[in-house]
């Protein structure tokens, strides 16, 4: 067999062609790898967006059913109530009468998105110590309340509690203070816009849920994905009663700046109180300075009307 003979120039050409082929193959494989990685990334991104869109109820509401404590444990007499909302849900609620039977001031407590009314006994005790009649309720899906939570549902639940105070307990709107903490701040703001109470207290709350979602998931288009609004910032300019906003600089969950934005959006007369401690610190402890600020603020409606 005759062996092929190549000149040095031909060998060099073959070598160069071989190297070009290898380079093209490497470039092709690199592009293929990039496209594969891009498809995986887009698939993961899309999956995460779908998970956030369809599963966000589980990221917003954290209800528990077991009632671990009642006002009786704090030495307070109370009535256990069943409230019925306008859309047919039944809610567990407590009414704690003031020590002075002639007291004509009541406070309606809208709690946060976790636990149930059994975790708010300290708040009940504090407001009761101010001489207020206290009504606290569980949102649907929380504690002994029926159903599952939703944004519109929480609004209807707060309205049912308000209706109980006005229609059953015979309080005038100006005699009722609406208080909301964390997510409850948005519920309380919605209610205050609808019914015009004597005063509104917003504690450790956010401007809107899309704004919170954008902070927690900055790489996702959360403002388009968020099915819940809870937009206090948009509603506050239409709230006509005195407003107190309280927030801690050390709040690790909801930025202090959001409390400042809420205060700026509220109409006068209004007050801002700077709290101390973490987000959940105020659930069990109310520092003396905050107590004093609340006592002074709760005198505002009588002075201003």
Known catalytic residues are 182, 251, 279
Residue 87 DSSP SS3: coil
Half-sphere exposure of 201 (CA within 13 A, CB side): 28
Strand runs labelled E in 147-305: 176-181, 199-203, 243-248, 270-275
24 vs 19: CA distance, rounded Å: 9
183 vs 302: CA distance, rounded Å: 28
Residue 163 DSSP SS3: helix
Which long-range CB contacts under 8 A does 256-259 form with residues at least 24 apart?
Answer: 258/205, 258/206, 258/207, 258/211, 258/212, 259/204, 259/205
């Amino acid at each position: 067999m005759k062996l092929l003979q190549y000149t040095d120039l031909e060998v060099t050409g073959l070598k160069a062609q071989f190297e070009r082929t290898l380079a093209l193959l490497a470039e092709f494989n690199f592009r293929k790898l990039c496209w594969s990685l891009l498809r995986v990334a887009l698939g993961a991104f899309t999956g995460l967006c779908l998970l956030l869109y369809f599963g966000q109820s589980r990221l917003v509401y954290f209800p528990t059913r077991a009632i671990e404590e009642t006002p009786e444990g704090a030495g307070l007499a109370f009535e256990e109530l069943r409230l019925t909302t306008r859309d047919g849900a039944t809610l567990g609620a407590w009414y704690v009468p003031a020590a002075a039977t002639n007291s004509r001031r009541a406070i309606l407590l809208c709690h946060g998105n976790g636990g149930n009314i059994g975790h708010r006994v300290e708040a009940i005790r504090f407001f009761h110590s101010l001489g207020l009649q206290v009504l606290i309720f569980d949102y649907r899906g929380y504690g002994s309340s029926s159903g599952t939570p939703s944004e519109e549902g929480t609004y209807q639940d707060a309205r049912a509690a308000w209706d109980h105070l006005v229609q059953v307990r015979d309080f005038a709107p100006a005699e009722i203070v609406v208080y909301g903490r964390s997510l409850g701040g948005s519920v309380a703001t919605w209610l205050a816009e609808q019914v015009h109470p004597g005063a509104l207290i917003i504690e450790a709350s956010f401007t809107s849920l899309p704004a919170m979602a954008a902070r927690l998931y900055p790489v996702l288009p959360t403002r388009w994905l968020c099915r819940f609004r809870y937009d206090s910032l948009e509603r506050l300019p239409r709230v006509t009663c005195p407003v107190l906003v309280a927030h801690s600089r050390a709040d690790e969950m909801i930025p202090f700046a959001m409390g400042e934005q809420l205060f700026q959006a509220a109409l006068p007369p209004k007050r801002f109180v700077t709290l101390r401690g973490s987000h959940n610190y105020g659930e069990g402890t109310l520092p003396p300075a905050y107590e004093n600020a609340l006592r002074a603020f709760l005198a505002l409606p009588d002075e201003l009307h």
